[in-house]
């Protein structure tokens, strides 16, 4: 493992924050950025397809397709999701699911309806090889998206194959949108009214079926519908083509928000003829789709959450590891979303307000210039898939430079590689108090080190490290403490 680890067992890193004042304007906002993917691959190499991200109680919460169970993570800031603990929603520990809903638990979404939380997810029978997927509903036992949950119902839907259920409320009515068909292809988007969160009212209507070439790459599929309501318009955003083709893309249906949504005539000519978000080979983003949306800053900022891969021609079931990305989008004059192009993993993006966390990527040229003592390293577990290996000279590692534009108290995090041969980190604070953190892990993995809080004045700062061995660093994060 060599230079990819933080030292031998005896190695100690020495960290000091010092600085000179900057001439920043008095009203300047704290530097605040993030880099995709917000959920890189985890320590086991698992990805996070079908991300459903929402905000509640000042925190980000995310669901995604996991291995045989429903899970969530929660954090105060976007960059915190990657290191947040994964919690199981369903099935509860020690409980075995009935065989008909025991396999391929896909695309969970957590929605607040009334005074309860409901999780909608897809599952099927284990070991049959038959496309008989159904949509199921869990209901919370308390007023928290963390649960615990009870099984509530299977949604009664006429299609033999039904997946990717989502719900939305409009004009006092509750609706279900989902993907379905006789098999997994061809698959169309259907809409139904619900009489309550777990009961379908009447027969669903078909609102979109694959008709353009970009909806038929490998297989004819419309799936993963999500609702966006803005400016008197209901936009039903869906994913098109097979997720394993590498040409997965987002499409759009748009109708007046006040229309009769269960009248098929409402949806005639509602489909935009071109994809609204698609593969961008020049930026290294392939197969973006099946995600969610959220708003911040009192509805002034809107965000597109999606999975994508950086492997051309690959996706689900074809070796493409799909990671969760987030980027801001805007609105057209007619109430339709303008998503733009997928952001490159190398781009630093301005974080949602009021997320004032300062996230510094180690591979940025302004932080460490590549040299014999600081070399770029690629790793799919990192933000932006890149970091820096820092080599010591006389026990000293290259210093990272960053700016503080807002005086305050910050919690300091380091995101590094640890492993079986890694030792300890030592933080020497300005108040001379020492903080120790153990880095040894059973196997090589990304470690998020919480080094406690520190008071910082406005100005230029340097992070000075001491270690007897090379250090592989992904990110430094300074998270403002609440007053």
**Residue 355 is among the residues annotated as catalytic for this protein:** no
Strands (E) across 198-339 are located at 199-208, 222-230, 233-240, 249-256, 286-296, 301-309, 323-331, 337-338
* Catalytic-role residue among 83, 97, 215, 223: 223
Regarding beta strands 134-140 and 149-154, do their DSSP bridges make them parallel or antiparallel, or are they unpaired?
antiparallel
Neighbouring residues of 394: CB distance < 8 A, sequence distance ≥ 6: none
Q: What is the DSSP letter of 393?
A: B
Burial of 245 (0-12, 13-18, 19+ CB in 10 A): buried
Asked about 50 being catalytic, the answer comes back as: yes
How many residues would you count in the chain? Answer: 483
- Ramachandran bin of 27, using left for φ above 0, alpha for ψ from -120 to 50, beta for the remaining angles: alpha
Q: Is 73 left (phi over 0), alpha (psi -120 to 50) or beta?
A: beta
Burial of 278 (0-12, 13-18, 19+ CB in 10 A): buried
- Residue 204 CB neighbour total at 10 angstroms: 23
Active-site residue, selected from the candidate residues 47, 50, 83, 474: 50
User: Hey, is 381 helix, strand or coil?
Assistant: coil
Tracing tokens 């397809």 back to the chain, one arrives at 49
Phi-psi region of 83 (alpha: psi -120 to 50; beta: other; left: phi over 0): alpha
Q: Which residues are catalytic?
A: 50, 223
């Amino acid at each position: 493992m060599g230079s990819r680890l933080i030292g031998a067992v005896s190695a100690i890193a020495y960290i000091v924050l010092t600085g000179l004042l900057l001439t920043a304007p008095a009203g300047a906002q704290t530097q605040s950025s993030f880099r995709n993917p917000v959920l890189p691959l985890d320590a086991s190499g698992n990805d996070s397809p079908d991300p459903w991200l929402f905000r509640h109680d000042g925190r980000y919460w995310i669901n995604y397709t996991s291995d045989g169970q429903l899970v969530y993570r929660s954090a105060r800031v976007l960059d915190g999701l990657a290191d947040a603990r994964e919690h199981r929603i369903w099935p509860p520990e020690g409980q075995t699911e009935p065989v008909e809903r025991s396999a391929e638990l896909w695309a969970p979404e957590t929605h607040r309806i009334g005074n309860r939380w409901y999780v909608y997810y897809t599952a099927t029978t284990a070991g049959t090889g038959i496309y008989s997927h159904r949509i199921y509903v869990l209901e919370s036992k308390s007023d928290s998206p963390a649960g615990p949950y009870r099984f509530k119902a299977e949604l009664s839907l006429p299609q033999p194959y039904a997946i990717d259920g989502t719900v939305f409320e409009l004009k006092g009515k509750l609706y279900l949108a989902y993907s379905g068909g006789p098999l997994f292809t061809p698959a169309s988007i259907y809409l139904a009214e619900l009489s309550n969160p777990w009961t379908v009212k009447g027969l669903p209507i078909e609102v979109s079926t694959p008709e353009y070439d970009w909806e038929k790459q490998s297989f004819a599929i419309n799936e993963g519908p999500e609702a966006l309501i803005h400016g008197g318009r209901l936009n039903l955003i869906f994913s098109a083509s097979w997720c394993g083709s590498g040409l997965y893309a987002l499409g759009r249906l748009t109708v007046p928000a006040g229309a009769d949504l269960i009248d098929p005539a409402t949806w005639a000519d509602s489909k935009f003829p071109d994809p609204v978000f698609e593969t961008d080979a020049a930026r290294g983003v392939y197969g973006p789709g099946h995600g969610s949306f959220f708003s911040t800053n009192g509805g002034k900022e809107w965000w597109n959450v999606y999975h994508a891969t950086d492997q051309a021609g690959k996706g689900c079931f074809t070796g493409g590891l799909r990671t969760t990305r987030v980027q801001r989008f805007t609105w057209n004059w007619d109430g339709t979303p303008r998503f733009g192009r997928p952001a490159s993993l190398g781009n630093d993006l301005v974080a949602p307000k009021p997320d004032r966390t300062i996230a510094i990527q180690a591979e940025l040229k302004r932080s460490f210039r590549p040299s014999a003592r600081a070399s770029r390293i690629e790793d799919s577990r990192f933000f932006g898939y890149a970091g820096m290996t820092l080599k010591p000279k006389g026990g000293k590692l290259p210093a990272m430079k960053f700016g503080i534009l807002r005086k305050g108290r910050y919690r300091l995090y380091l995101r590094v590689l640890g492993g079986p041969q890694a030792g300890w980190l030592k933080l020497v604070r300005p108040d001379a108090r020492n903080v120790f953190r153990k880095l040894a892990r059973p196997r090589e993995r990304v470690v998020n080190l919480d080094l406690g809080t520190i008071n910082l004045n406005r100005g230029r700062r340097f992070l000075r490290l001491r270690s007897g061995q090379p250090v592989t660093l992904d990110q430094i994060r300074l998270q403002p403490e609440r007053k």
